Amino acid sequence: MVTNLEGVLQAFGNGTLFGESYGDGPVQVVFLHGWGRSSADFRAIATELAEHGISSVAVDLPGFGASPLPETAGGARLYANIVISVLPTIADGPVLLVGHSLGGRVAAVVAATAPERLSGVLFIGAPLLRRGGGTAAPWRYRVIRFLAKRHLVSATSMERARQRYGSADYRAASGLLRDILVTMVNESYDDELGRITTPAAFLWGANDTAASVAMAREAAALVPGPTTVTVLDDCGHLVPTLRPDAVVAAVREAL
C-alpha cells in the first residue's frame, strides 16, 4: 500500500473548511496554523508523521489558505465553534489538536468546549492570556481616531493612519478579516484554560516575542489537567517552520 505523504487538499463540512490530509489510516492529529499563515506550515511535520504511520489533517482556518471567511466577525470562540462542527467530518474518534499562535487560541476553546473530541492538545507559541501593560497607540493615531469617531476626518485619512500606525497583521488585513483580528487580540482564555481536562502540552521558542515563555508557564498553571512545558533554545515564534523536528517529537510524545 502506498502511503499518502504529500498531502491531499480536501473540503470538510461541505466546504466550511479545507485542509491537507496526510497518511492512510484513521486521523490522529489535526493541525491549526497561526494568523496570516496556512496549513502549509505543517507539511514537513505531517509528512514525517505519515512516514511513521500517523495520519493527520492540517486545516486552513477561516479566511486563510483555501478556507472561506466566516459569515460574521468574531474571535477564537467563533473559529472554535466552526472547528468543533467540522471535526466529526475529519476524524471518527478523538484527535490530538495542535495549535500554533492563532491556532492555539482556537485549540484552547475547543479543548474547553468539546473535550470528548480530543485525546490531547498541543499549544505552540499561542497568545493565550491578555494582560495589562501593553504599549499604548501613538498619540497622533489616538487623535485621528478620536476625530474620526466624531466624523471630523475622512475615512481615507483614518485608513491612512491605520496603515501607518497599525501592526503588520493589522495593515495586511481588511474588511471582515480585520474585524476578526481586532476581536482576537483583545481576547484572553483564562476561563477556557481552567476547564481543560485533557492532557495539554506547551511547546515554545525561547525567543518568542509574540507570546512569551512566562505567559506559557502562566497559562499551563491554569490548566487543571496534566501539563508539560518544553522550551526550545535559539528559536522564535514560528516553531512549526523553524523546528519541525521538535513538533514531530512533541506530537509523538503526546500520542
Does 216 map to a domain?
A: yes
Q: Which residue has the higher pLDDT, 232 or 131?
A: 232
Q: What does the pLDDT average to over 234-244?
A: 96
Does 198 map to a domain?
A: yes
Separation of CA 17 from chain center: 14
Percent of the chain with pLDDT over 70: 85
Q: Which residue has the higher pLDDT, 5 or 100?
A: 100
Q: What angle is formed at CA 62 by the lines to CA 58 and CA 65, rounded to 5 degrees?
A: 55
Look at strands 95-100 and 17-22 and give their pairing.
unpaired
Residues whose CB falls within 8 Å of the CB of residue 159, separated by 6 or more in sequence, listed in order:
none
Q: What does the pLDDT average to over 75-84?
A: 96
Q: How confident is the model at residue 45 (pLDDT cuts 50, 70, 90)?
A: very high
Residues 78 and 46 in one domain: yes
Task: Give the pLDDT score at 133.
Answer: 47
Residues 143 and 57 in one domain: no
Query: Coil, strand or helix: which one is 224?
Result: coil
Cell digits of residue 173: 488585513
Does 1 map to a domain?
A: no
Among 9-13, 58-62, 140-144, 234-238, the range scoring the smallest mean pLDDT is 140-144
Does 50 map to a domain?
A: yes
> Between the CA of residue 102 and those of 8, 38, 54, 80, 206, what are the distances in Å?
23, 11, 24, 11, 18
Does 107 map to a domain?
A: yes
Across all residues in the chain, what is the average pLDDT? 89
Phi-psi sector, 26: left (phi>0), alpha (psi -120 to 50), beta: beta
Q: Is the predicted pLDDT of residue 148 greater than 90, yes or no? A: no
Does 2 map to a domain?
A: no
Residues 118 and 172 in one domain: no
CB 107 within 8 A of CB 74: no
Residues of 194-227 as b/e, b for ≥16 C-beta within 10 angstroms? ebbebbbbbbbbeebebbbbebbeebbebbeeeb
Residues 154 and 243 in one domain: no
pTM, two decimal places: 0.86
The residue type of 221 is: A
Q: Is the predicted pLDDT of residue 1 greater than 50, yes or no? A: no
CB 148 within 8 A of CB 158: yes
Q: Is the predicted pLDDT of residue 88 greater than 90, yes or no? A: yes
Task: Kindly report the CATH number assigned to the domain that includes residue 82.
Answer: 3.40.50.1820
Task: Give the pLDDT score at 48.
Answer: 96
Sheet holding 8-12, edge to edge: 8-12, 17-22, 55-60, 27-32, 95-100, 118-124, 200-205, 227-232
Domain extent, residue 147, equals 139-178
Q: How confident is the model at residue 7 (pLDDT cuts 50, 70, 90)?
A: confident
Residues 151 and 27 in one domain: no
Domain count, the chain: 2
Task: Give the pLDDT score at 185.
Answer: 87
Q: What is the DSSP string of 24-86?
A: SS-EEEEEE--TT--GGGGHHHHHHHHHTT-EEEEEE-TTSTTPPPPSS---HHHHHHHHHHH
Q: Is the predicted pLDDT of residue 163 greater than 90, yes or no? A: no
